[in-house]
Chain A
Amino acid sequence: MKKTVLVVEDEGLLLKAIEQKLMNEGWEVVGARKGDQALDYLNNMEELPSIIWLDYYLPDMTGLDFVVKLKKRPRLAKIPIMVVSNSASEEKVKSMLALGVKEYLLKAEYRLSELIKIMEKLIVEKKL
């Protein structure tokens, strides 16, 4: 089965690393560097991604705004979201988890391979 992921990451270098690693691992990757851009993609994609990889701080909105907007659309609301950010204040974590975000992870703490494993776990959980 084909694994699709929408990666929302404003930092180009990171996005490049993530895309490369995921593609190496056989993932279909759609990268977006802004919140609006990501929402656009989602609206126009025929097949929705299996999971969304989301950074918190985006140039045009916060991860929170993005999730709120996403959750407003029933078609998109069910996509599991994994937040990978370098900013993880309790407030942010709590509000994001409350909105249905599956994981809130600290970027610097994880290797890419570990993050991919977590995504795979989340996708399996969703299917169950």
Chain B
Amino acid sequence: MRNMGIMKKKEEKNSVKIKRGLELKIVTILTLVMIFFGGVTVELLYKYTTRYEVKKGEAQLETLVKVKGGMLNVYFQQMRATLNKLTRDVHLVDLVGKNSRKDYKQALYHFDLMNVRGMFLSIYALNKKGEVVISLDKRFEGKNYGFRDYFKEAMGGNEYLDVAVGVTSGQLGYYLSTPLRDDKGEIVGVVVGKLNPKFVKDMLMRKTKIDGVKELLVDRDGVVVESNDEGLFLHTLADISESEKKWLVEKKFPNVDLIPSGYASLAIALRNGVTAGYFRDHLSKGWYYRVVGLPGTGMHLVMMKNEAGILREAATNSKIVFWVVAIAVLATDLIVGLWLLKYMNQVDKLAVAAKRISEGKFDNDLSWESNDQLGELVEALREMQYRLKRWHQEMVKEVKNKTEKLKLQMKKLEEAKLDLEKFKLAVDNVGDHIVITDSEGIVLYANKAVEKITGFSPEEVVGKKVGTKELWGGLMGLKFYQKLWQTIKIDKKMFVGELTNRRRNGQKYIAAASIAPVLNKRGEIIYFVGVERDVTKAKEIDQMKTDFISLASHQLRTPLSAMRWFLEMLLSGDMGKLTKQQREVIKDIEESNDRMIELVNALLNISRIESGRIIVEPQWVNLKELVEGVVKDLEEYIKKKKQTVVVSVHPNLPKIRLDPKLVRQVYLNLISNAVKYTPEGGEINIFVSKKDKEVISQISDTGYGIPKEEQERIFERFFRASNVVKKEVGGTGLGLYLAKAVVKSSGGRIWFKSQEGKGTSFWFTLPLKGMKKKKGEVRLT
């Protein structure tokens, strides 16, 4: 049992192979779908975030530029207001306009006052010639700054701010200038405040280190004068020519190497008064920017933010989303994968079971439950297995049954085949000539005897038409063949007859032929089967027999006749008178002689009937007359035995066509037997009646009867019952044989009932339609 189990398992493994990979497919598809949608989400999010970050950045720039621009404006206005206060100082006006030295001290005092907070690096005033008359920084006094724009502009009546690198200090400074007017409103000089760039720097730097915002303070000549990016300090925004550069250096930025910043696009925007936008620098870096002009200073404040920074921020956000999505994908795959593995395990079990069922193994464990579609499938499979198992069992039974039957049929068929072979062998080798033809008489088969008899080989015969001179036939004349074809082809009956044929070597022979049509179910002729026998020799023998019988009869009858006639003469006294004793002896001799004659006649009759040479010549016969005639012939004999014979014939018995000689013989034999084998004084009854299509004749006697044990043999040739042999010397044992032969050949029956010592009844029938005419050679005697 255990071994079997192992073997079974092994077999299972070998026979049931389940393809895997559905899990992988599902997980792959799921992953791909999730990656796709995740990707789209990340992408969309990234775009959205980018846009959001850009807007946020721009808003930030906007705010910064407004706030800081505002602060700078306030700062510069305050500074200007401070300077304007100084211009109203009469001491200063007089000092500058009238060169009144006495006012110097007072004016300087006011200068100090105004710069309490140290907002200015220096405050100084220039006369019309551009000479510094008074200055907080003593180094400036006596120097001429008439070449400076701030002096020229202020002398023109304008307030002005100039950014330049100081000739003396070598430091960058904001030079705020305003015209100094006397009481008549005449410009007498210019007051200049050199602002401390630290304050501007502080203002700009405040809160702008974050977020990668770059701020630039650009003067009217496009030079970055302040920036939180040290690298941009004193760079030109635009790319400028050498002459421009030289001019700028001479005028405002002595000893400074003005390098272009690479922000040419921004310079163009500033020139055109654009306040917000986006540009690419010389390194193709993208920048968002906001610009605000600082009124009265000729300067612009620029806030700009690097696009990459914005994008980086957006990317950072998107990255988080990407990782969330990726983790979600992996987690989903893991969960789905594990779940699928568990489920597929069940599916595999189902698949294995299904495969095994398909291989005719119905012992699969399908007992597990699952309350989902899989459960339904398990249940369905379980049901299927159960039904298939039953069906299979029934089928196996059925197949077994059918196979048995088939075997039996095969056996029968085999037997039939053997029979057929035997049959064919028999047909092939039988002595009679057998030919099978198609419905047109073309030979399909000929057995060996055909060659033996006709000399034609089967090969010569097959395919040729029978009954023609091409083969052995054609000698009988048209009429004969017409009759033959009529019988077998139109009447579809068997033809029996004798015909003369010719062998291949020309020798003629007589054939007894029977030719029968073979019909199919529809009654159509499919074959003819002809059986012929060469009766030439038999005919010869028959002739010899006939000759012998006639010779024998002649030869036997002659001496018998002689004896008869001499005895007759003796008894009639022709040879003289006989004594009583002599007479009795001669009578006995005559009786013996008569019996011999009778025997010879009977023998002749039998040989005639048996050889079929007897003539049947039917006439209209009145049976009553015939029977009465027979009785009359026997009258003397009956009288001698003192018997009573009663003849009763059916009153309406019609005349029948019978051969009277033959029928007479039957009655004669039966009635004479009755007389002979009935003791003296007995009674004999003869009834002739009609029943259905027959005439029934009955001959009953009250005689000795036939011993029961001998009744079987009573119709045999030469048989005489043991109980009568002793009583009646006469009798050939041929009478009943002859009677039976005649009755049978006429289509009737003959039978009897007998009880020993009580009597015998014979019956025989003759058909009402009578006997058939038959040509022959001899009659009965």
Contacts and interface: CB of A to CB of B under 8 A. Distances in A.
Interface in B303-332: none
B749 interface: no
A90 interface: yes
Nearest to A13: B562
Contacts of A111: 564-565, 568
Given A90-B615, A91-B777, A108 B550 contact: no
Interface on chain A toward B: helix, strand, loop, or mixed SS? Answer: helix
Contacts of A112: 565, 568-569
Interface in A1-60: 11, 13-14, 17-18, 20-21, 24, 57
B34 interface: no
Nearest to B561: A107
A108 B561 CA distance: 5
Interface string B558-585: 1111101110110010100000000000
B615 A21 contact: no
B565 A109 contact: no
Interface stretch (A71-79, A81-89, A95-103, A119-127): A81-89
A87 B553 contact: yes
A106 interface: yes
29 contacts: A11-B558, A11-B562, A13-B562, A14-B561, A17-B562, A17-B565, A20-B569, A21-B568, A21-B569, A24-B569, A24-B574, A86-B554, A86-B558, A86-B561, A87-B550, A87-B553, A88-B779, A89-B550, A90-B777, A106-B557, A107-B557, A107-B561, A108-B561, A108-B564, A108-B600, A108-B601, A112-B568, A113-B568, A113-B572
Given A24-B574, A90-B777, A17 B558 contact: no
Contacts of B550: 87, 89
Contacts of A107: 557-558, 561
Contacts of A113: 568, 572
A57 B550 CA distance: 11
Given A90-B776, A91-B777, A18 B558 contact: no
A14 B562 contact: yes
A23 B779 CA distance: 34
A13 B572 CA distance: 18
B377 interface: no
Contacts of A21: 565, 568-569, 574
Give the interface size bracket for A toward B: 20 to 34
Interface string B538-561: 000000000000100110011111
Interface of A: 11, 13-14, 17-18, 20-21, 24, 57, 86-91, 106-109, 111-113
Nearest to B597: A108
A29 to B, nearest CB: 14
A63 B666 CA distance: 32
B60 to A, nearest CB: 159
Contacts of B7: none
Interface in B767-781: 776-779, 781
Contacts of A13: 559, 562
Given A20-B574, A24-B569, A111-B564, A14 B558 contact: yes
Given A17-B566, A21-B569, A108-B557, 9 more contacts: A20-B574, A21-B574, A86-B558, A87-B553, A88-B779, A90-B777, A106-B781, A109-B781, A112-B568
Interface of B: 550, 553-554, 557-562, 564-566, 568-569, 572, 574, 597, 600-601, 615, 776-779, 781
Contacts of B601: 108
A106 B556 CA distance: 13
Which of A14, A86, A88 is the most central at the interface, judged by chain B CB atoms within 10 Å of its CB?
A: A86
A67 to B, nearest CB: 19
A108 B560 contact: yes
Contacts of B566: 17
Nearest to B571: A111
Contacts of A20: 569, 574
Which of B558, B565, B600 is the most central at the interface, judged by chain A CB atoms within 10 Å of its CB?
A: B565
Query: What 7 A-B pairs have minimum CB-CB distances, sorted nearest first?
Result: A86-B557, A17-B565, A107-B561, A13-B562, A108-B557, A108-B597, A86-B554
Nearest to B550: A87
A20 B568 CA distance: 12
Given A11-B558, A87-B550, A18 B781 contact: no
Contacts of A57: 554
Contacts of B569: 17, 20-21, 24, 112
A8 to B, nearest CB: 14
B436 to A, nearest CB: 39
A18 B601 CA distance: 22
Contacts of A106: 557, 781
Contact of A86 (B553, B565, B574, B777): B553
Contacts of A109: 597, 781
Nearest to A114: B568
B592 to A, nearest CB: 14
Contacts of A90: 615, 776-779
A112 B562 CA distance: 10
A18 B565 CA distance: 8
A91 B779 CA distance: 10
Which of B557, B560, B561, B779 is the most central at the interface, judged by chain A CB atoms within 10 Å of its CB?
A: B561
B557 to A, nearest CB: 4
Nearest to B600: A108
B680 to A, nearest CB: 26
Nearest to B574: A24
A122 B574 CA distance: 24
Contacts of B778: 89-90
A118 to B, nearest CB: 14
A87 B572 CA distance: 27
Contacts of B615: 90
A106 to B, nearest CB: 6
Nearest to A55: B558
Nearest to A12: B562
A91 B775 CA distance: 11
A45 to B, nearest CB: 26
Contacts of A14: 558, 561-562, 565
Contacts of B564: 108, 111
Contacts of A17: 562, 565-566, 569
Contacts of A108: 557, 560-561, 564, 597, 600-601
A90 B779 CA distance: 7
Nearest to B557: A86
A22 to B, nearest CB: 11
Contacts of B600: 108
A81 B550 CA distance: 23
B381 to A, nearest CB: 98
A89 B778 CA distance: 5
A19 B566 CA distance: 11
A88 B777 CA distance: 10
A108 B556 CA distance: 10
Contacts of A88: 779, 781
B253 to A, nearest CB: 180
A57 B564 CA distance: 20
Nearest to B608: A89
Nearest to B594: A108
Nearest to B617: A90
A87 B558 CA distance: 10
Nearest to A86: B557
B662 to A, nearest CB: 13
A94 to B, nearest CB: 10
B461 to A, nearest CB: 39
A92 to B, nearest CB: 10
A109 B564 CA distance: 10
Contacts of B553: 86-87
Nearest to A25: B574
A85 to B, nearest CB: 8
A85 B601 CA distance: 14
Contacts of B572: 113
A77 to B, nearest CB: 28
A57 B557 CA distance: 13
